[in-house]
Amino acid sequence: MTELQTILKAWRNLKNEERDAVLATVVHVAGSTYRRPGARLLLLPDSRRIGSVSGGCLEGEIARKAWWWTESSPISLKVFDTTSEDDAVWGFGLGCNGVVEVLIERVSAPGATQLLQFLEEAQQLRKPVVIVTVVRSTSDSEFRLGQRLLAGNGPIRGELAVCEQAGNLTGYALEALQKRRSQSINLERADLFIEYVPPSQSLVILGAGYDAQPLVTIAKEVGFRVTVADARSAYLKRDRFLDADIVALVTAENAMRDIQIGPDAAVVLMTHSYQLDARLLPGVLAAGPRYLGLLGPRARAERLFGDLGIVMPHYVHAPVGLDIGGETPKTVALSIVAEIQAVLEGCSGSMLKHKRGAIHSSVSEHGMVAALRAPDGRLVHPSSCDSDSQVNV
């Protein structure tokens, strides 16, 4: 279960019990920070916390004051500057060296309730959505803090759906859906955060042997939606794969017909049977996943594709996994999930100590606009970003 899904589950339980909570959402960062815009933290009435907005240096401060901050108004924007070298500022001295802006709101407020219901529906339907949120506005602006436009799952919703600039904002939302990336924009009298929220990534494991079990467990812990399939019914005992979302039998009649593999899915072929791999591979290739990993040496994969008369696509990883010295099923599974994560995020999977520059990539690599605040409080995007990263209206 992803962090967002865990938050939504807790919120639904609170709603059913008619209890309130506080939702904290990172809407802008500058400098070095542990979490990026879109990170969320749910503060429960019994003092429990779900999710995070930092590496630990902000959660305590927010938990202590969030209920007070939202007592007179259900929503508030707080700016945390972790660049100070004085340990007394936060009491942790983690040295994040960044500025984090966090939107704090009561989940019982109409806007927050609509947002969480919208996200819940999108996650259940496995649809990507976009949330446009006002994070700062001037006194003479038509926008107010926390107003939103919700797009991507049915009709456009939210308070901003009926404002004068609804058409322009919808255009930005649809662009974010198409490009699958978040960004911050500055209008004439307001700053807005346009957040792209994807569904959980799909992982299809073809092969239900002993080594598939830790792969399912680790993938689910990371947040993947996992399907396990095999042609051998004796392997597909549900009690062997309690964490899997779907356990499916592949038969000679249906081959891969009943296994859903989308264009963003990751697939791992690990049946340990050359004949079964050869039978399943054409169906996988026809679906065109984002990632396909094959267990075994490179020569085996080349022979497999050669016997089928198929050119090996660029998204095939054989042998599967990163080189971390994995030999046991658990360490091999760890290397596979790490490689899938790196590929889906467009990263190399190399050691961070060899990376020059910021740990988190810029918008041109990961889609999140790296923006700074001008003296007047408006967002200013560095010239090094893509030309379409800065939007002035």
Last residue of a domain, which of 170, 199, 228? 199
Full domain range(s) for residue 326:
202-344
pLDDT bin (cut points 50, 70, 90) of residue 87 is: very low
Answer yes or no: do 62 and 81 share one domain. Answer: yes
Give percent of the chain with pLDDT exceeding 90: 74
Give dist(CA 321, CA 226) in Å, integer.
Answer: 17
- Whether the CB-CB separation of 259 and 250 falls below 8 Å is answered with yes
Last residue of a domain, which of 199, 227, 262? 199
Last residue of a domain, which of 108, 141, 169? 108
Q: What would the mean pLDDT of 357-378 be, rounded to a whole number? A: 45
Q: One-letter amino acid identity for 375?
A: P
- Whether the CB-CB separation of 134 and 170 falls below 8 Å is answered with no
pTM for the full predicted model:
0.81
Q: Report whether pLDDT(178) > 50.
A: yes
Tokens 């100070």 appear where?
84
Answer yes or no: do 195 and 235 share one domain. Answer: no
The pLDDT of residue 361 is 55
Kindly report, residue by residue over 1-21, the tens digit of the pLDDT.
789 999 999 999 999 999 999
Q: What would the mean pLDDT of 111-121 be, rounded to a whole number? A: 96
Is residue 240 a part of any domain in this protein? yes
Answer yes or no: do 206 and 194 share one domain. Answer: no
- Whether the CB-CB separation of 266 and 247 falls below 8 Å is answered with no
Answer yes or no: do 148 and 207 share one domain. Answer: no
Answer yes or no: do 268 and 281 share one domain. Answer: yes
Answer yes or no: do 80 and 193 share one domain. Answer: no
Answer yes or no: do 162 and 94 share one domain. Answer: no
Answer yes or no: do 238 and 298 share one domain. Answer: yes
Is residue 208 a part of any domain in this protein? yes
Calculate the CA dihedral of residues 122, 123, 129, 132 and round it to 10 degrees.
90
Answer yes or no: do 60 and 133 share one domain. Answer: no
The pLDDT of residue 84 is 61
Q: What would the mean pLDDT of 208-221 be, rounded to a whole number? A: 96
Answer yes or no: do 91 and 118 share one domain. Answer: no
Q: Domains in the chain: how many in total?
A: 3
Answer yes or no: do 30 and 9 share one domain. Answer: yes
Mean pLDDT of the chain: 87
